[in-house]
């Protein structure tokens, strides 16, 4: 694999999931692959899980890992072409990414959307510029429209914890106080549409995701109907796709609690984290027996390691 930006970059999804689960059993079996190879993780936005799990995945494969929080520690980056740089930006992405490529065998990039200009976000301008200018294999650490390492870890978690061969998986919108990206739900939907699951998305009116990511999903505005007898419930807030980045109040009753879960007694509750307690998801669920959010975050290591291994194999 030379690029990991979406599920479409994966030749064989079940094989990648199986590889992640195998690495979980034997984490250090491929240390020779990463010997004398450098992984650079570049963050334009905050991170806990992606940073630590991908760093650990690289180390498990014997790689040297460099982390650069470029938003805080780097020179202010210019992303636009054709501008005279007489303002606050100091270094153009063309030089910055090109230089990082000189120091790295694989680069990971995190770049959130601005949530102002939909065309710009959905054309993945920043992520694609890194890919173009660094000239080495690139892994998305969450871009404007997708979070594929998260979705792979989610699929690994479902595969590991399912008790029926084709589980019912529900993505449900949750309340929040500020506009959040669509990257996590887009990506989760895109991966679930390719998996052997029965997949439903529930959200209030006005929060429909871009249809490119949700093609075979059942979509409803009725949360109760959606979660009934679910095997997995994936909780996530996102802002509107149309009008882009908008949020509307009045949907606070979409937060799951134990009372709502009475109709889904077997459901395992997932969330990519970070989660705002008692705003997006109730503490009683997070602290209760149905939550698998910590286990899910643990699987981020094996997802990242499976992807890095496939990249190292073709370096």
Ligand X SMILES: NCCC[C@H](NC(=O)CCC(=O)O)C(=O)O
Ligand Y SMILES: NC(=O)OP(=O)(O)O
Nearer to ligand X by C-beta: 43 or 232?
43
Q: Is 315 in the site for ligand Y (CB under 6 A)?
A: no
Reported as half-sphere exposure (CB side, CA atoms, 13 A), residue 167 has a value of: 24
Which one-letter DSSP state was computed for residue 212? G
Q: Is 144 in the site for ligand X (CB under 6 A)?
A: no
Query: Binding mask 100-139 vs ligand X (x if CB under 6 A, - otherwise)?
Result: ----------------------------------------
180's contact among ligand X, ligand Y, none, with CB below 5 to 8 A by partner kind, is: ligand X
Kindly list the distances between the CA atom of residue 210 and the CA atoms of 227, 240, 243, 263, 272, in Å, as whole numbers in the listed order.
Answer: 22, 10, 12, 29, 20
In DSSP terms, 170 is beta-bridged to 200, 233
Q: Is 238 annotated as a binding residue?
A: no
What residues contact residue 204 under an 8 Å CB cut-off, 6+ apart?
173, 221, 251, 254
Q: Is 154 in the site for ligand Y (CB under 6 A)?
A: no
Indicate which single residue of 8, 132, 224, 274 sits in contact with ligand X (rule: CB under 6 A).
274
288's contact among ligand Y, ligand X, none, with CB below 5 to 8 A by partner kind, is: none
Angle, vertex CA 186, rays to CA 183 and CA 192, nearest 5: 135
The nearest distance, CB 302 to ligand Y, in angstroms, is: 15
Q: Is 110 annotated as a binding residue?
A: yes
Q: Is 142 in the site for ligand Y (CB under 6 A)?
A: yes
What residues contact residue 86 under an 8 Å CB cut-off, 6+ apart?
none
Indicate which single residue of 41, 209, 272, 311 sits in contact with ligand X (rule: CB under 6 A).
272
| Size of the chain, expressed as the number of residues it contains | 315
Nearer to ligand X by C-beta: 136 or 269?
269
Of residues 154 through 213, those in contact with ligand X by CB under 6 A are 178, 180-181, 183-184
Q: Is 148 annotated as a binding residue?
A: yes
Q: Is 296 in the site for ligand Y (CB under 6 A)?
A: no
The nearest distance, CB 48 to ligand Y, in angstroms, is: 4
Indicate which single residue of 111, 145, 150, 157 sits in contact with ligand Y (rule: CB under 6 A).
150
Q: Is 56 in the site for ligand X (CB under 6 A)?
A: no
**Which residue from 314, 9, 301 is spatially nearest to 157, judged by alpha carbons?**
301
The nearest distance, CB 206 to ligand X, in angstroms, is: 18
How would you label 266-296 residue by residue, b for 16+ Cβ within 10 Å and e otherwise? ebbbbbbeebeeeebbbebbbeeebbbbeeb
Cα–Cα distance measured from residue 276 to residue 175, given in angstroms and rounded to the nearest whole number: 10
> What's phi and psi for 301, nearest 5 deg?
-60, -45
By the criterion CB under 6 A, which residues form the site for ligand Y?
47-50, 142, 150, 272-274
Binding site for ligand X (CB under 6 A): 142, 178, 180-181, 183-184, 272, 274, 276
């Amino acid at each position: 694999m030379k690029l990991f930006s979406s599920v479409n970059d994966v030749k064989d999804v079940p094989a990648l999931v199986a590889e992640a689960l195998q690495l979980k059993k034997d984490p250090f079996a491929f240390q020779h692959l990463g010997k004398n190879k450098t992984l650079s993780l570049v963050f334009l936005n905050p991170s806990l899980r992606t940073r630590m799990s991908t760093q650990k995945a690289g180390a498990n494969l014997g790689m040297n890992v460099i982390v650069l929080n470029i938003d805080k520690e780097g020179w202010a980056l210019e992303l636009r072409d054709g501008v005279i740089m007489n303002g606050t930006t100091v270094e153009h992405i063309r030089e910055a990414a090109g230089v990082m490529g000189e120091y790295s065998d694989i680069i990971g990039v995190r770049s959130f959307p601005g949530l102002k200009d939909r065309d710009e976000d959905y054309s993945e301008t920043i992520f694609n510029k890194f890919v173009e200018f660094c000239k080495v294999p690139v892994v998305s650490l969450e871009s404007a429209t997708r979070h594929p390492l998260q979705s792979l870890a989610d699929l690994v978690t479902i595969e590991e914890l399912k008790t029926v061969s084709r589980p019912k998986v529900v993505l449900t919108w949750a309340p929040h106080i500020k506009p959040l990206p669509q990257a996590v739900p887009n990506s989760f939907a895109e991966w679930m549409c390719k998996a052997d699951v029965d997949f439903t998305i529930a959200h209030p009116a006005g929060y429909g995701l871009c249809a490119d990511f949700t093609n075979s999903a059942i979509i409803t505005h009725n949360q109760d109907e959606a979660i009934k007898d679910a095997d997995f419930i994936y909780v996530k807030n996102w802002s509107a796709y149309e009008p882009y980045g908008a949020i509307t109040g009045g949907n606070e009753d979409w937060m799951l609690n134990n009372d709502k879960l009475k109709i889904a007694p077997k459901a395992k509750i997932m969330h990519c984290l970070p989660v705002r307690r008692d705003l997006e998801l109730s503490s009683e669920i997070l602290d209760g027996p149905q939550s698998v959010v910590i286990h899910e975050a643990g699987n981020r290591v094996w997802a990242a390691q499976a992807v890095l291994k496939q990249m190292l194999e073709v370096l």
